[in-house]
């Protein structure tokens, strides 16, 4: 398939949003990693405080390699904090750690959106691996031979790939809620003082934007393939 400028027309806004969100996240994290919390709590200590106050005793807090690779695994109840977060008493580290602890609290309290997201993981993984590839094959068939067969293949790929979009859409309230819990409880539990909330908010708000950018990118990818296959009234030429 030849170079298609329409691909960049569709994807350019999402691409720019992704770059901006990534820049904002890294910039905010770097800035507030240099601001020490007045409480002196590290990321690991802040996460433990959050869990203890919520009455959660069965979640392990462990260090993990990488930068901004922090995550909570509901399967084995492990809260993994990256090296710059785990042992660092900074506003950025505490913000990220409290956010991940927020996911553990969601799990313990049976937050429905988190459960739905966990159920969607296998389907989203399949859609991510196969959907784009199938859509590409369908579009190539259209450009080579035309007809409805290629469009049908694109449609099959789009259905598979849409599982990724559904997963990302469900992820948004999960992430927003975890950040909301982190911001409120970090102050309530004395992990950060009210005047330190601004830095924490900037780090978490920037990180949340990356999830929005990912969903927009997936949506625009779907729209591109559907439009180029003539399934949205677009041209195949």
Just list the catalytic residues. 100
Question: Which residues lie below 8 Å from residue 122, measured CB to CB, with a gap of 6+?
Answer: none
Return the SS3 of 79. Answer: strand
In the block, residue with structure tokens 């505490």: 94
How far apart are the C-alpha atoms of 187 and 212, rounded to whole Å?
Answer: 26
Q: Is 191 left (phi over 0), alpha (psi -120 to 50) or beta?
A: alpha
φ, ψ for residue 34 (rounded to 5)? Answer: -95, -5
- Give dist(CA 7, CA 15) in Å, integer: 11
Whole-angstrom Cα Rg for the chain:
21
Q: How far apart are the first and last CA of the chain?
A: 12
Which of 121, 131, 211, 118 minimizes the C-alpha distance to 169?
211
> How many CA atoms lie within 13 Å of 48's alpha carbon, on the beta-carbon side?
10
Strand (E) or helix (H) holding 64: strand 60-64
């Amino acid at each position: 398939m030849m170079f298609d400028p329409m691909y960049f027309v569709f994807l350019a806004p999402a691409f720019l949003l992704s770059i901006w969100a990534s820049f904002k996240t890294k910039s905010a994290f770097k800035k507030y990693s240099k601001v020490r919390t007045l409480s002196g709590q590290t990321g690991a200590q802040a996460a433990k405080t959050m869990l203890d106050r919520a009455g959660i005793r069965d979640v392990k807090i462990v260090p993990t390699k990488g930068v901004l690779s922090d995550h909570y695994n509901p399967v084995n109840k492990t809260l993994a904090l990256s090296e710059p977060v785990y042992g660092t008493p900074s506003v950025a580290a505490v913000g990220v750690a409290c956010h991940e602890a927020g996911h553990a609290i969601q799990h313990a309290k049976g937050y429905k959106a988190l459960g739905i997201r966990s159920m969607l993981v296998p389907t989203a993984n399949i859609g991510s691996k196969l959907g784009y590839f199938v859509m590409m094959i369908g579009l190539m068939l259209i450009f080579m031979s035309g007809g409805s067969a290629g469009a049908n293949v694109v449609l099959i790929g789009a259905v598979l790939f849409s599982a990724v979009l559904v997963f990302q859409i469900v992820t948004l309230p999960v992430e927003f809620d975890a950040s909301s819990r982190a911001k409120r409880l970090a102050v309530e539990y004395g992990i950060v003082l009210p005047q330190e909330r601004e830095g924490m908010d900037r780090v978490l708000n920037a990180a949340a934007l990356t999830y929005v950018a990912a969903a927009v990118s997936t949506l625009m990818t779907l729209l591109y393939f559907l439009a180029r296959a003539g399934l949205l009234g677009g041209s195949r030429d």
